[in-house]
Amino acid sequence: MNIRCLTVALLLTSGPVLAAEGLVPSGVDPLGFWLIAVGVALLAAEAALPNYGIAGLGGIVLCVIGAVMLTNADVPVPLMIGLGVISTVLLAALLLRALKTRPRQAVTGDAALLGHVTTVTALQAGNHHHGWVQLEGERWQVTCVTPLRLGQAVRVTARKGLLLEVAPADSQGA
pLDDT at 174: 42
* List of the chain residues with pLDDT < 70: 1-29, 71-75, 77, 104-108, 171-174
What is each CA distance from 71 to 25, 108, 149, in whole angstroms?
A: 11, 58, 81
CB atoms within 10 A of CB 152: 19
pLDDT at 94: 74
Write the pLDDT tens digit of every residue in 57-87: 788 888 778 877 776 646 676 777 777 788 7
pLDDT at 130: 93
Cβ atoms 62, 49 nearer than 8 A? no
pLDDT at 75: 64
pTM of the model: 0.41
Cβ atoms 122, 140 nearer than 8 A? no
Instruction: Tell me, rounded to whole angstroms, the distance of Cα 37 from its chain centroid.
Output: 26
The burial class, CB within 10 Å (0-12 / 13-18 / 19+), for 46 is: buried
Torsion of CA 153, 156, 160, 161, to 10 degrees: 80
Instruction: Tell me, rounded to whole angstroms, the distance of Cα 87 from its chain centroid.
Output: 20
pLDDT at 152: 93
**143: closest CA among 122, 161, 167?**
167
Cβ atoms 132, 126 nearer than 8 A? no
CB atoms within 10 A of CB 155: 17
Helices 77-100, 54-70: inter-axial angle, 10-degree rounding: 170
